[in-house]
Amino acid sequence: MLKTKNGIKLTLPAALLLLAGCASTDEFVFNGIDPWVKPYERSNLADPIMSMNRNPIARAYAKHVFESREGARGADGGAGGGCGCN
């Protein structure tokens, strides 16, 4: 549960939707920053070998194997990609 300055309480799903709504416009506060890696410099990042999830069916199974035999869980999604260049 999140609480705004005005005392409005938000559930997490509501917060997710709010984030989506706020961030969907070009007026977002961070958009004024000039990217230091230009779009035309992202070919290496767009290579499939740079994606942690380039084979989702195999990766999900590997996670399944580890989860079933280890006590730890979560945060192993492995963020990857990020250049917005499919």
Partner 1 sequence: MQLIRHNIRRMVPIAVVLWVSVCGIAHTAVLPQDRSDIMFHSYSGDGVSIDGPSILLRKKVGNHVSLSANYYVDTVSGASIDVRATASPYTEERKETTLGGDFLHDKTLLSASYTNSSENDFEANSAFISVSQDFFGDLTNMSLSYAKGWDEVGRRGDESFSEDADRQKYGFGLTQVLTKNMILGFSAEHISDQGYLNNPYRSVRFVDANAPKGFSYATEVYPNTRSSNAISLNANYYLQHRAAVYADVRWYTDTWGIDATNGKLGYIHTVGDDWVIDAFVRYYSQQKADFYQDLFSRREEFNFMARDKEMSTYTNLTAGVSVAYEWQFSAQSLIKKSSVSVEYDYMRFDYDDFRDATALAPVGEEPLFGFSANVLRIYASIWY
Query: 47, 19, 62: which is closest to 11 by C-alpha?
Result: 19
Q: Which residues of the chain form contacts with partner 1 (CB under 8 A)?
A: 12-13, 15-17, 19-20, 23-25, 28, 30-31, 33-37, 39, 41-42, 44-45, 47, 49-50, 52-53, 55-86
Least CB distance to partner 1 at residue 62 (A): 7
With beta carbons less than 8 A apart as the criterion, state whether 2 and 8 touch: no
Backbone angles phi, psi at 10, to 5 degrees: -120, 135
How far apart, in whole angstroms, are the C-alpha atoms of residue 55 and residue 79? 14
Least Å distance, CB 6 to partner 1, is 21
Complex with partner 1: residue 7 or 84, whichever CB lies closer = 84
